[in-house]
Structure 1
Amino acid sequence: MTNFNESYDDTTGMRPRKKKRTGLMILIGAVSLVLIALLVAGSYLFSLARTFDKNSTKLENVFPAESLRPKVTEESKGAVNILLLGNDTRATDNGDENFASLPNGGRSDTMMLVHIPADRKGIYVTSVMRDTWLDIPGHGKAKINAAFAYGGVSLAVQTLEGLFDTRIDHVAAIDFEGFKGLTDALGGVQINNPIAFTPRTKKDIHFPQGVQTLNGEEALAFVRERYAFKDGDYQRVRNQQLYIKAVLSTMMSKETLTDPAKISESVKELAPFIAVDDTLDALKVAQLGASMSGVRPNELNFFTLPNKGTGRSADGQSIVIPDMTVIGEFAKALKADKVGQFVEENNL
């Protein structure tokens, strides 16, 4: 028989113990669900990172000797700088071997420095014009993209670390061919094209001005073309920035984030066309990805390193003249982890 004196509260007529127990069970259940969700999300993220790790190529000895590298400042601790090197193997005779798998793939067509601040509030991507005329350590004055040809990834890193007086933490080499599969895996990528053009080598493709969705083949043609523009490589760089930002925005969209199959397929498609330094393993990729989970598409900032326009070198080469004053200011911003402030002050 139930003991009502023990089970009921005299003033309310309720069974408080059962209510407390039910409330406690609901709380435990809710916490368990959250923990399970976090574990699943973490496991999935790590699984993706392992897939990337397994299918991408590792680059060894990409960093210069320690004595040649800038010191890490207290202000910049926690920030991450990643050098992106891009190339178009269409113009080479490497057969089925893509740029990302090669220790020395000729001159890089694209050079971008990705700065992720310590507070993870935004991502800043700086494009360095490939014809920028600078001192290449051990080789004198040359176009910056020659650093890769002269001394591989290590010399490219040393050149940019010297230019910005800031350490580069990781390196990724990307072959443009990877954009094709990635775009198709995402179901297309939407861009807002500022200038209508028809690629010189792809007359069957035309890009009208305005908003449009690119498939893989179109995306490849879009990021490759420079001859269709009056300012050539400048517009190609802007188009590459536009495309990469669109890809990141698509991958960060709710539709993609809630579609594990699409994310997994995107990673599988792109990974074979990427080579990363051997310190960027699956765990670091997962940790870096998790730390940037709060970044929104409108916090992706792309700009081109300021320069003084084009000119001619002493031996007659067409070059881009660097604005060393502004580059010095940018270097200070990198070291102080204040790139966002630099971007605002220079209207970039």
Structure 2
Amino acid sequence: MKRKTDIPWEEFDPSNDEEFQRNLEKAFFEDEPKEQIELNHNEDIQWIDIEASVKGKEESKHNTYDNIHDFHENAIEFATSNEREYDNFELYEKAVHSIVNQELMDAQEEVKQTDKLSSEEEDIISEISRSLAKQIDPGLAVEEAMELPLEGEKPQESLRRRRLKQIGIPILISLGALLLSVCLLLFTKAGQSLLIHLGANFVAGKVNYDDGSGHKVEIIPEITDVPTDDDIEKNKEDVQLGTNNGTVRHEDYAVNILLLGEEAIFSGNSRGRTDVMMIATLNSKEKSIKLTSLMRDLYVQIPGYQDDKLNAAYTVGGIPMLFNTIELNFDLKLDGYCLVGFDDFEKIIDKLNGIDITLTSSEANWLNTTNYISNPNYRTVTAGLNHMNGNQALGFCRIRDVASGTKELNDFGRTSRHRTVLDTIFQKYKSLNYWDLAMLMNSCLPMVTTDLDAKELETYIQLALDIGLTKLEQLRIPANGAYEDAYISKKSVIIPNLQKNIEVLHTFIFGAE
């Protein structure tokens, strides 16, 4: 592996210090931290002086051993070859060994002294080692300071402080990483996109998916209404709905989702009636969110079936039939739907901890004296502002025989109440923090049925956030002056002027031409 320096660090190990070697390796090898380790000019000079000193002492040590070995060999060889010149060879040999041993002891002492660097050199090496370590890991500087006992600090206090460091530093690092992640998610476009993507997949995994492909056409029994004074008896043949434009309109800048409330009382295993029908529009061109109520008593053409009330289309053929009916009568293409049963609607209100609704004295009296509030214990509302639970709010939505606060009667007053309740829910959702909203969605989404998949949900959530959840613009169809009340086949109906209502509806949803 190529090194970043030509200094032969393997030879530079006077103290056998493992930490020193480890720091040198980190500084000189490319597969360790990438920060460039630079020593100042004085340290460079000190490196050269120390290296030269160590090399010289190492050479001196080896030379000393070599000289002793040569002396011993030469002395014994000389004594052996000149044995006759000595009266006692053994005494001579002992003398040689004695001298050699003494020389060896002196050499060993010299080597020990050679191996010991001067105190100045030790300080330099220690300082360089610490400098390298801190450049590789700045946290070592903090740890080093934490390890030293403070002035006047007791051993137990020092031990507690070190333990606090061992526990506290990882916690602080984790909290810092978490805070950084939250900031990246909330305050960067990429982070927000990731959150929306995860949120859409979360929603898609919680709701009940039903694209309506399994919905079959059913024959429904005739339901008769009691006529009111405003109803005019008419034959089907005399009804003139007018004609639509024949072109279903859809614009890329406007997303239309059909919101449905299903009343399934006495329906058994069959589909109920969609007594609540609203079109929620996300208009990116106008940066607006709009809500259009379609009254259930609208007398419309149901494809492949006899003319009937709009809410009968779902009962006859499910979601596909209802979509086709709205497209046929109002020239409007829908992008999807969300459906909630009335019983689940009540539960959703309760999970919101109730909503605040203002009642007229007539509305309060009606709710307290009828079974619109199904639980008698909750028939305690009063004129003015009431904090209603789910059972009370559902009873309020069903009122049609008493004028609303906007002086509207019959189905007009009822749909007005629907919009009031939905707007109140919308405002309350907006006031929730992220955590409470996530918990609420987790418990409420399983009560929702939709044909929107995760990708579509992600697109629409992003669109809603881009528009801004500020306020809801509202409309009712039929529009004022574009309908008449009638009584057909023993049912109270509203006969719309299709051309006028299409014009009003399209202008509201798509904007003026």
CA distance in 2 between counterparts of 1:274 and 1:164 reads: 26
User: What is the one-letter code of the residue matched to 2:495?
Assistant: I
Q: Distance in 2 between matches of 1:331 and 1:62?
A: 28
Percent identity, please. Answer: 22
Choose 292-301 or 139-148, whichever is displaced more.
292-301
Question: 1:49 pairs with 188, 200, 213, which one?
Answer: 200
1:286 alignment partner in structure 2? 458
Conserved in 1, the CA contact under 8 Å of 2:279 and 2:292?
Answer: yes
* Structure 2 Cα separation of the partners of residues 289 and 160 of structure 1: 24
Match of 1:328 among 497, 502, 506: 502
Out of 323, 343, 347, the residue aligned to residue 181 of structure 1 is 347
Q: For 1:113 and 1:59, how far apart are their aligned partners in 2?
A: 18
2:473 paired residue number = 301
CA distance in 2, matches of 1:90, 1:46: 38
Distance between the aligned counterparts of 1:45 and 1:60, measured in 2?
23
C-alpha change, 1:175 and 1:46, in structure 2 (3 Å) is farther
2:256–2:282: 8 Å Cα contact kept in structure 1?
Answer: yes
Deviation at 1:143, TM superposition (A): 1.0
Q: Do structure 1's residue 138 and structure 2's residue 304 form an aligned pair?
A: yes
CA offset digits 1:156-178 (Å, max 9, x no partner): 10010112212111122221222
Question: Hey, what's the Cα distance between the residues in 2 that align with 1:212 and 1:191?
Answer: 5
- Check if 1:271 corresponds to 2:420: no
Paired position in structure 1 for 2:185: 36
Select the structure with the greater relative contact order (CA < 8 A; seq sep ≥ 6). Answer: 1
Letter in 1 for 2:314: F
Whether the 8 Å contact between 2:264 and 2:273 is mirrored in structure 1 is no
Instruction: Look up the match of 1:171.
Output: 337
Alpha-carbon separation, structure 1, partners of 2:349 and 2:358: 16
Q: How does 1:116-135 map to 2 (within 5 A)?
A: 116-119=282-285, 121-135=287-301
CA contact (8 A) 1:165 1:331 kept: no
Measured in 2, the distance between the counterparts of 1:49 and 1:234 equals 35
1:231 and 2:409 correspond: yes
State the distance in 2 between where 1:178 and 1:295 align: 29
Q: 1:266 to 1:120 in 2, by over 3 A?
A: farther
Instruction: Tell me if structure 2 keeps the 8 A contact 1:180–1:220.
Output: yes
Q: Which runs of 5+ in 2 are unaligned?
A: 1-38, 42-178, 216-245
Provide the residue aligned with 2:326 in structure 1. Answer: 160
Aligned residue number for residue 93 of structure 1? 268
Larger CA Rg, structure 1 vs 2: 2
- CA offset at residue 211 of structure 1? 2.6
Aligned residues: 291
Deviations 1:170-201 (A, max 9, x none): 12222122223322332322233356333321
Cα displacement (A) at 1:154: 0.6
When residues 71 and 109 of structure 1 are mapped into structure 2, their CA distance, relative to the original with a 3 A threshold, is closer
Distance (Å, rounded) in 2 between the aligned partners of 1:58 and 1:211: 37
Q: What is residue 21 of structure 2 aligned with on the other side? A: none
More helix by percentage: 2
Residue 111 of structure 1, CA deviation: 1.3
Return closer, same or farther for 1:32/1:106 CA change in 2, 3 Å cut-off: closer
Distance 2:181 2:284 in 1: 31
Give the match's secondary structure for 2:504.
Answer: helix
SS of match in other structure, 1:136: coil
TM-aligned CA deviation for residue 53 of structure 1: 1.8
The answer to whether the Cα contact below 8 Å between 1:131 and 1:144 also exists between their aligned partners in 2 is: yes
Counterpart residue number, 1:83: 258
- Contact 2:208-2:450 within 8 A present in 1 as well: yes
> Is residue 136–residue 147 contact of structure 1 (8 Å, CA) maintained in 2?
yes
Structure-2 residue corresponding to 1:318: 492
Give the residue type in structure 2 aligned to 1:122.
Answer: S
- The DSSP-based 3-state class of the residue aligned with 2:493 is strand
Cα–Cα, structure 1 residues 183 and 61, in superposed 2: closer, same or farther, change >3 Å? closer
Q: Corresponding residue for 1:244? A: 422
Query: Which residue identity lines up with residue 254 of structure 2 in the other structure?
Result: A
Distance 1:46 1:225, change over 3 A: farther
SS in 1 for 2:490: coil
AA aligned to 2:472 is: L
Gaps of 5+ in 1: 4-29, 95-103, 343-348
Over aligned residue pairs, what C-alpha RMSD do you find?
3.3
Conservation of the 8 A alpha-carbon contact between 1:52 and 1:271: yes
Number of the residue aligned with 2:100: none
Q: CA deviation at 1:300?
A: 0.2
